Chain A
Amino acid sequence: MAGPTIDHMVSITVLIAALLLTFGLYNQVLATAFAYQRNHQVVMKAVDLMNTICLSPGNPPDWGHTNSTPLGFGLQDPESAGYTLSPYSIMRLTSSSGGGLVYYPKTGLYYNNVSLGSGGSLLMPVGDCIDYATASRLLGVNGSYGFQLSITPTLNVTVSQVPASYLILKVEVLGPGMPVSGATLNYYMHRVVAGGGSAPSFITQSGVAQTDSAGSALLEFPSIDDSDDPYSFVVYAHLGGLKGVGYYSHDVLRNYPQFIVPFIGNFENGSIIIAHSWDVHNYTQTPVPNVFYNATFLVLTEDFKLRQVEIVNSTGQVNYGQGKPYAITQIPASESGILFISYRWGNRFGTVMVPWGIGTLGVSATFGGDPSGHSFVATELRQVTVNGISYQVKLAVWRLEDMNFGEGVRR
């Protein structure tokens, strides 16, 4: 009797062990399949969103030229085809990587500060910008998927000053992880001088150079003092269809901060507010500068030349304090270019450049949420052109439900 019983017990034990092992293996396969399906959906959504953003201009197609909220979201340039993005639509995005908000009491508005390098400034009225929530809603992913859009120049063009008795600038051109040798450089040096009247004027010097095997070039300006002459420098680099831009400026403000803060007043008509810095920031230096400015709009042509055009109120004076007005100039809203403002107070000179169309100064833009902390983030990468400048667009997409049961994700 004992033999069959033991036989049954052993066989049942072995069977249960085998079943448990098999269920475990099946469970592992199914878990992999579920994870694959879930992640595949996110990848498909990333491709779908990237196509919508890069290959459709939105609705209305010219929403980048207006102050109104679009009915459909897309960044393609309505005047071009393929992977060409509108420099104006990108300007209207509320950047998530900028220098925060700036309040200007004279207009009573907050401005979105897109951090630029030395000598550049881009401050846009928050109320006229498109925020992440609006874009998510227009793209149909509000509450279901999160995304972050990064638009960065393909070529990183940096300019630095080399110590010498006269001005020598070093231009370095880098691709993603490697220097770019043999790149052609078209550069423009705008040297600010006192001029005849109260407002300063500037002298433009242009030239062509080429990067060496290390991806750099030294540009010498023997007529410019490297410390006492104010200037602004813009360089366009191109190599076999790739184009990049870099800039650098040097002010002679003698222990003062910059005097002028330019704000974008209106996307539609291209008005720019030229404000006194002391009205914007809590600067305490006295005496307060009595600033004379000279604003010039330089249109970027298709062959990367800067053509000067006339604008209204191109010269003027801005003062600080109660009731003192700011100056308003207006640039042609349909033309991409750079508003170059030089200013002076006595023997103190400075410059600031405002890009009209992000490509003209190679401005980067990051828009959207924060992908960190999510269990799976799909990324898409595309090459595009903005104002003829080569950019890379990276889109990170994640599923928002992951927040509920993610791996150590905080709500």
Chain B
Amino acid sequence: MRTVEVLFVIIIIFGAFIVATQFAVLPSPRQIFGTNLRELAVSTLQTLDAAGNLTRTVFKSPSDPAWEILKNALSTSLPPNIVYNLSVFEISSSGGVVTYRLVASISDTEGDLGAGSEAASYLVTSPNVTFSITPEKIGEKSGKNITLYILNCNDANGWWITGYTGQTLAADLYNLLSPYFKTTILVNSTSQLGLLLNGTALRGETLQDAVLINTFGEAVPIPAGYYTTQGYDSSRSSYAKYAYILGQRVHQYNWTWVSIVGYPFYYVTNTITFASTQNDWGIYGMKSVGAAGLNAFLQGLDSQSYSYNSQWITGSPGVVQFNLDASYYSNYYGVYPSPYQTATRALPTSILSTYHLTATEIFNRPPSPNQNWIAAATYRHTGGGALTAIGLTRIPDIRVTALGLLMYYCPTIYRSEFGASGTSRLVTLQLSQQGGA
């Protein structure tokens, strides 16, 4: 009799065990050996589209050979034990209803990938879609007609513009900045620069309030004749006085003089006048002025009397980062230089009081003990005239120069409405792991 009761107990115990195991379904630890397929799919899609290849392919006809290349690339990039299914859906909207239509699908396996698969999606926009923008011309609001001059002198050499020439930089700056100015003029020789310094317009443009960009790095083109004689300080055998005259002209005409890299006004250049003179580094057509050039320019800008001063005033705070304004305007104008740059010719904050300047800075001030160095800024003199000095190390990134100028003048961008349909596609990549984990 007891045996029968015990048998009942055993049946109850095993019944409880079976019920408990039915509800407590625990996956095998082997199931967690596999990699995170969803993140792998995301990273695969991003990698394939790093240079826009995926975007270009998914908008092509399914019979285009680019799909076969994409298939090869997918098979190549994924581990051999992972199979995939890539599907592309066209997104369209009608009457407020968004629909997804399958336009293409590629896979390296037949049939379903199974319940263990994971998928990631990626939205792409057709490379043919363009957004049109209309920039405001600088000075338009205030009724000024500001001219952009870019020094493109064929009789000048550059320094610290490693890998470029002044002429190539001039072409790039023209493309970048000319949409923001009503008139843009390339100054093709030092004699043309001499005309400007004499107050003569080259094509009837407005000279007052102009912007002059020196594309020759640390070297400044110098016109032969008046400027090589009056700009020469014979007592010091230096062309620092030319920089002083430049400072006076910038102040007189309310110009903005732009130095794109390094130590401003460190050399003067004229390949004819200095045909047999080199800049101490083997570059002919150039003569060293040294630190006296910048000091003389600032004296001229501040209407001080000329006094030869060869004191080195720049510092080297190292890596600097865009300030919030620069980051904002970088996005606003679509100009994307690296937000981290190395400053080796930063100007000291002391020049602000010495020469009556206010600075529109591009970078955050470096941390202590370098907090008194300004890596790059436009220095506006209270009485008129400005100097944009990008005190970064070579190689020059002219996008920093462009951003600095745009930050200073803040022209408005008028963007066109974008309402195109059928220009977006959704790409899904489904992955599944095959075999034992």
Contact = CB atoms under 8 A, between A and B. Distances in A.
A180 B36 contact: no
Interface stretch (A17-25, A164-172, A246-254): A17-25
A383 B44 contact: yes
Contacts of A335: 395
Interface string B60-73: 00000010011011
Contacts of B78: 176
Contact of A309 (B24, B50, B163, B341): B163
Contacts of B73: 239-242
B51 A388 contact: yes
B79 A268 contact: no
Given A14-B10, A241-B49, A385-B50, A154 B26 contact: no
Contact of B321 (A62, A180, A239, A381): A62
A242 B319 CA distance: 32
A381 B40 contact: yes
B110 interface: no
Contact of A332 (B10, B162, B321, B339): B162
A10 interface: yes
Contacts of A82: 43, 46
B48 A242 contact: yes
A84 to B, nearest CB: 7
B340 interface: yes
Interface stretch (A28-36, A192-200, A364-372, A401-409): A28-36
Interface string A80-124: 001110000000000000000000000000000000000000000
Given A62-B340, A239-B72, A240-B73, A39 B29 contact: yes
A154 B74 CA distance: 11
B148 to A, nearest CB: 27
Given A79-B338, A381-B40, A241 B53 contact: yes
A268 to B, nearest CB: 6
Interface residues of A, number: 73
Interface string A228-243: 0000000000011111
B49 A36 contact: no
A25 B21 CA distance: 10
B417 to A, nearest CB: 26
A384 B50 CA distance: 9
Given A177-B80, A241-B51, A333 B14 contact: no
A382 B37 CA distance: 9
A79 B76 CA distance: 27
Interface string A256-278: 00000000000011000000000
Nearest to B395: A332
Contacts of A25: 17
Interface stretch (B1-9, B193-201, B286-294): B1-9
B32 A40 contact: yes
B35 A381 contact: yes
A381 B81 CA distance: 13
A66 B340 CA distance: 11
A22 B14 contact: yes
Nearest to B57: A240
B76 A154 contact: yes
A332 B5 CA distance: 89
Interface in B321-335: 321
B146 to A, nearest CB: 32
A390 interface: yes
Given A240-B70, A383-B43, A383-B46, 20 more contacts: A8-B2, A11-B5, A14-B10, A15-B9, A32-B29, A36-B26, A39-B32, A182-B72, A240-B57, A241-B47, A241-B54, A241-B70, A268-B319, A332-B162, A332-B395, A335-B395, A379-B35, A381-B79, A384-B47, A388-B50
Interface of A: 4, 7-8, 10-12, 14-15, 18-19, 22, 25-26, 29, 32-33, 35-36, 39-40, 43, 47, 50-51, 54, 61-62, 65-66, 78-79, 82-84, 154-155, 175-178, 180-182, 239-243, 268-269, 299, 302, 307-311, 332-335, 376, 378-385, 388, 390, 392
